[in-house]
Structure 1
Amino acid sequence: MAKKLDKVDVLTVGAGWTGGIVAAEAAKEGLKVVSLERGKKRGTEDYQHVHDELKYAIRYELMQDISKETLTFRNEPDQRALPMRQQGSFLLGDNVGGAGTHWNGWVYRFLPYDFEIETQTKEKYGEDRLQEDDGYRFRDWGITYDELEPYFTQFEETAGVGGTVNHFEGERSKDYPNGPMVQTKMMKMFEDATNDMGYHPHFLPSANMSEAYENPDGEKLNPCQYCAFCERFACEYDAKATPEVTVLKTAQRHDNFELRTHCNVVEILTDDDDDSKVTGVKYVDTLTKEEFIQPADIVVLTSYVFNNYKLLAVSDIGEQYDPKTEKGSLGRNYCYQTFGGARGFFDEQFNVFMGAGALGMSMDDFNGDNFDHEDLDFLHGGSITITQLGSRPIVTNPVPKGTPSWGADFKEESVKQYTRSLSVAGQCASSPHKDNYLDLDSDYKDEFGVPLVRLTYNFTDMDRKRTKYLAERCGEILEKMGAKKVDVDDELGDYDIVPYQSTHNTGGTIMGDDRETSVVNNWLQHWDRDNLFVVGAGNFAHNSGYNPTGTVGALAYRCAEGVIKYSKDKKRLEK
């Protein structure tokens, strides 16, 4: 029998960026808040020996234990899905901070076009360009850039984001709170080349601190040391904005907030007398295996994309999407991220061993609808970027195409090209398709006997054409930069879950104006349960040509405001 605990005002499921933002804002308002985190507590004191590539980058020390919790995968609906048994295509975070601990710190704002992609495409190119007959399902998000802009600003100020103005971004109410990072030799070469080509380069917006910074909540961050251990690693300097050193730290300053670790939520509980409300959650203490019921006036799902979906599905909240009938909203519009790029080989050398997670230059001339698509058979585009992350020795072996993969020639080229090769990458949007979705697997379960999420996903023809187009542009830029040889990677086959690509999973709990095709409204409030909110990249109706975290952070601040509004009036929120 599960032990029933005292009711709280607000309960968040997960303690990363979204959970931390909601918890901090609700705690400031005097609400009693509990954040349930299935992992363990961790912080800066745990990261003093983090410069270990084998332990963290190869053996995934900070990631989820997928022997206990994973998902199953297939490319097509008529295939049998099998479990992902090792970290691969994406890296699922774990413990306090979640993926926000080991991220690189790129903080883009999605374009105004992204939030109204269906409407703007129809107006400019006609309805046929949406390619509905081919299975594409581009949808407006139920919110505009202008509505979301104040929350973008709020997240940037919390995270101490630095950068320079992007020629194509939506209008902003404030400049970045921090200046850009240093400009290295390769970044200057990219800037000069793209300027000469008539493009509009800008510094990559970075949550790695360019200088000491104190955010509006009084949390202090230190200058980046450019140590090259950022993605897949935590930061021992507190120089990268993470949930532990910003929003969770702010929440923990309040006596009305409790962070409870080792708590794996297995079910959201619906009110027996009023199915428009939830009453709390059931969770298992992962150390003792005891079951608890935590009642709450408001429940906010703030875990990762797959787990937010899973909790709704196993709790029978919302209608599961069916790709045959296209009825139901839960699980639809799963999207990912594709990359097309090029590698250039130079005579001169670069200090590639130094770097930071968000040290780079970017341009958006081929992102969104910033370029004419009239004669192109795809929508959207992608950002084009050069980065200096720090080339660590185990995973860095750049050699020209045609080089043997083993032996003396490989060794010679690997040593030579380590400091003489640069990559320019196109991070491309992902097209929503009716056959790409999430549901529950009927065969496989997690350690608590709960069905695993089943991912059905493949790249689309539009993804392949977009990726090829961006890769060709990347090759042209490297040639302009003076590369002696350029290898272009422009082929996108079937999606494979084994090799790492990106931890930019989106969709499954999308937002919108239509309750028949979306899971939450533009306050991130569930259509079927008034006191249930769901926030994260799962709310995206498609993925843009950017990293998602900046937009996730903005949505979390929007959600937090909605939670506070609802706590006062206990009514469904209107747009």
Structure 2
Amino acid sequence: MRTDPKKDVVIIGLGWTGAIMGMELADEGLDILALERGEDRSTVPDFQYPDIFDELKYGIRYGLMQKPVNSTLTIRHNTQQTALPYRHLGSFLPGDGVGGAGVHWNGQTWRPQEVEYRLRSYVEETFGADIIPEDMQLQDWGVTADEMEPFLTKFESVAGIAGKAGNINGEIQEGGNPFEAPRSGEYPMPPLKNTWDSDLFAAAATKMGYHPFPRPAANASIEYVNDYGMQLGPCNYCGFCERFGCNNYSKSSPQVCILDALKRKPNFSYKTKCEVLKIEKAADGKTAKGVTYFDDNTGEEVFQPADLVLVCAYSLHNVHLLLLSEIGQPYNPDTGEGVVGRNYSYQMTGGTSLWFKDKVFNPFVGTGSGGMSIDDFSMSQIDFGKEGFIGGSYITGSHSGGRPIQQMSLPPGTPSWGAGWKAAIGEWYGHNLSIGSHGSNMAYRDTCLDLDPTYKDRHGRPLMRMTFDWKDNDIRMTQFMKSRIEEIARSMNPDSMASGYKAPGAQYDVRPYQSTHNVGGAIMGTDPKTSAINRYLQSWDCHNVWVMGASAFPQNLQYNPTGAVGGLAYWALDALRKDYLPNPRPLM
């Protein structure tokens, strides 16, 4: 095995968190190497017009996603089943290559509510511990909204988020989200312009006494220059956002916001098609001495020594790597002991579609995170004891495009193929409005990640095994949201409507897309018996291993995770710079 010259820092994965860590630590004068297992990707040439608008290649055949033949896991519903490989992408779509899922996302960028950081404490103080189901493993994050605020602000400034503040230093702002945690100031950019369907939803919600506001977006509403001198141009509403790279420098991504500035740093370098196989521990077992990776360019394994190992891959891969490296005790759902793999959770979503014969919405004019939302049924606004569930959801009226393959929505009763289908497309295209629920998902004793005893990857390593199914608590939550959304929908007097939400007894189905919001498994906290990393995202077991990403979430938010992921990266950096680098040691 080849051994390369030692680096101060090795970064595993070059997506959002890897780019952030590289940019900030390069300013400390450290010698940094990032290892990315996918290919290099840049706005030019990879996201150029017209190639990037190939819906078949990118929307259907997942041109920017990881291929299961190279990277997958096994999945089962419960610990009594035998897990089987996830052979075809469906439920979630991890990004491949430089930029990761930060390339193909829609740009929905939220901050957690105050209560979400301390959910167990909030539930016990407000409703009593008795309402927590016996198998639900609610945990506090170990940080507070006040502690996180400046770091969330930093990420929003770097990413260039468009929106309208609802609470600035405790003062409610007209037109914003009145239920958000207090912010120190406005968003970097004003909100995106609304499409007509969003305005109709907002009017209906207002009439019912709710509080609509523009959904925060990593889609530029104006020209913008961020903290690193990177320039964004205003979104042109092309309708090709999710599953596509942005050709217009308008959707925030590691490429658009960080990487071109980072690549100019003389003390930063990166290698692509280099998959980290294992974090290598020092002889004392208390620190890491570097990583072993497989270089697809040369076909050989390489040992890369480093003083600091930053795990910045996708959340599932972070957990897999910790398990393979034997960093932290693997979680055992039978005993409840162990920490790595504990508290995996996902995202509970649903939606209602409305069709209007006399309204045309021009859906081809779309942007990834446009729309109007309400937070009236969010975590902090629901009486968990009365409603019989713990959780919450934001609700949005929006559309992201009108593409010919994925976004041809037809009312119930229309033919699914043939001449009748063609006629229905002609009659109904552009007449559809959608209202969606994006809700939380709690973690349970038996929703977890571990190593599969049977299946192996191309390097001979055990695949990771996911044990996950929907639970009654979260289904009750989504059924509650269904009732609220359908009330709003009926008030809009559509000619037809149809709903899709998880019904009582529903099981997790990996085939339809739901979200790429896989969280937990390497969760943060203040107790090494129930968390894999401390409140600064530092491994309890190897103090020079730090683990970024949504794998740190103890249970999932009601919101999209990227805002919190970016904020946590800057939070961890603050501790790294001020407390760790001058004196490397466990910070807790």
Give the TM-score, by structure 2 length: 0.95
**Partner residue, 1:530:** 543
Alignment of 1:311-326 (within 5 A): 311-326=321-336
**Residue in structure 2 matching 1:71, options 50, 70, 73:** 73
Alpha-carbon deviation of 1:458? Answer: 0.3
**Partner residue, 2:397:** 386
Name stretches of at least 5 consecutive residues in structure 1 with no aligned partner. none
* Corresponding position: 1:202 with 2:213: yes
Alignment of 1:254-403 (within 5 A): 254-272=265-283, 274-347=284-357, 348-403=359-414
Contact conserved, 2:408 with 2:425, CA < 8 A, in 1? yes
Contact conserved, 1:212 with 1:222, CA < 8 A, in 2? yes
* Corresponding position: 1:158 with 2:158: yes
* Corresponding position: 1:121 with 2:135: no
**Partner residue, 2:61:** 59
Alignment of 1:513-552 (within 5 A): 513-552=526-565
**Partner residue, 1:39:** 38
Alignment of 1:1-20 (within 5 A): 2-20=1-19
Partners of 1:248 and 1:91 in 2: CA distance: 22
Alpha-carbon deviation of 1:402? Answer: 3.4
Contact conserved, 2:113 with 2:380, CA < 8 A, in 1? no
Contact conserved, 1:27 with 1:33, CA < 8 A, in 2? yes
**Partner residue, 1:237:** 248
Partners of 1:363 and 1:117 in 2: CA distance: 21
**Partner residue, 2:174:** none
Q: Deviations over 1:330-381 (max 9, x none)?
A: 1011111111221111121111111011111111110112132331110121
When structure 1 is superposed on structure 2, of 453-462 and 490-499 the one drifting more is: 490-499
Contact conserved, 1:506 with 1:543, CA < 8 A, in 2? yes
Alpha-carbon deviation of 1:259? Answer: 1.3
Partners of 2:492 and 2:148 in 1: CA distance: 37
Alpha-carbon deviation of 1:185? Answer: 1.1
**Partner residue, 1:459:** 470
Alpha-carbon deviation of 1:544? Answer: 1.3
Q: Deviations over 1:405-424 (max 9, x none)?
A: 33444333333222111110
**Residue in structure 1 matching 2:95, options 88, 93, 96:** 93
Alpha-carbon deviation of 1:556? Answer: 1.0
Letter in 2 for 1:170: A
Partners of 2:260 and 2:305 in 1: CA distance: 24
Alpha-carbon deviation of 1:505? Answer: 0.5
Partners of 1:573 and 1:330 in 2: CA distance: 19
Q: Secondary structure at the match of 1:35?
A: strand
**Partner residue, 1:485:** 496
Alpha-carbon deviation of 1:121? Answer: 0.5
Contact conserved, 2:202 with 2:397, CA < 8 A, in 1? no
* Corresponding position: 1:560 with 2:559: no
Q: Deviations over 1:500-548 (max 9, x none)?
A: 1111100100001110010011110000111110011110011111111
**Residue in structure 2 matching 1:188, options 179, 199, 205:** 199
Partners of 1:429 and 1:37 in 2: CA distance: 30
Partners of 1:542 and 1:431 in 2: CA distance: 5
Letter in 1 for 2:581: S
Alpha-carbon deviation of 1:485? Answer: 2.6
**Partner residue, 1:476:** 487
Contact conserved, 1:369 with 1:380, CA < 8 A, in 2? no
**Partner residue, 2:170:** none
Alpha-carbon deviation of 1:448? Answer: 1.0
Letter in 2 for 1:121: V
**Partner residue, 1:497:** 510
Name stretches of at least 5 consecutive residues in structure 2 with no aligned partner. 166-176
Q: Secondary structure at the match of 1:291?
A: strand
Contact conserved, 1:23 with 1:248, CA < 8 A, in 2? no
Alpha-carbon deviation of 1:397? Answer: 2.9
Contact conserved, 1:341 with 1:470, CA < 8 A, in 2? no
Contact conserved, 2:353 with 2:497, CA < 8 A, in 1? yes
Letter in 1 for 2:295: D
Alpha-carbon deviation of 1:391? Answer: 1.7
**Partner residue, 1:226:** 237
When structure 1 is superposed on structure 2, of 520-529 and 490-499 the one drifting more is: 490-499
Alpha-carbon deviation of 1:400? Answer: 2.3
Letter in 2 for 1:214: V
Q: How many residue pairs get matched?
A: 570
Contact conserved, 1:117 with 1:140, CA < 8 A, in 2? yes
- Percent identity reads 43
Contact conserved, 1:368 with 1:382, CA < 8 A, in 2? yes
Contact conserved, 1:398 with 1:421, CA < 8 A, in 2? yes
When structure 1 is superposed on structure 2, of 552-561 and 531-540 the one drifting more is: 552-561
Q: Secondary structure at the match of 1:334?
A: strand
Q: Deviations over 1:417-437 (max 9, x none)?
A: 221111101111001111110
Contact conserved, 2:399 with 2:434, CA < 8 A, in 1? no
**Partner residue, 2:169:** none
Alignment of 1:19-38 (within 5 A): 19-38=18-37
Contact conserved, 2:391 with 2:474, CA < 8 A, in 1? no
Partners of 2:47 and 2:414 in 1: CA distance: 38
Contact conserved, 1:343 with 1:475, CA < 8 A, in 2? no
When structure 1 is superposed on structure 2, of 523-532 and 4-13 the one drifting more is: 4-13
* Corresponding position: 1:145 with 2:149: no
Letter in 2 for 1:326: G
The 4+ residue runs of structure 1 with deviation greater than 6 A are none
Partners of 2:260 and 2:101 in 1: CA distance: 17
When structure 1 is superposed on structure 2, of 165-174 and 411-420 the one drifting more is: 411-420
Alpha-carbon deviation of 1:487? Answer: 1.9
Q: Deviations over 1:174-230 (max 9, x none)?
A: 210101111121111111111111111110101110011000111111111110111
**Partner residue, 2:168:** none
**Partner residue, 1:167:** 178
Alpha-carbon deviation of 1:472? Answer: 1.6
**Residue in structure 1 matching 2:261, options 235, 250, 256:** 250
Alpha-carbon deviation of 1:560? Answer: 2.0
Partners of 2:426 and 2:502 in 1: CA distance: 27
**Partner residue, 2:224:** 213
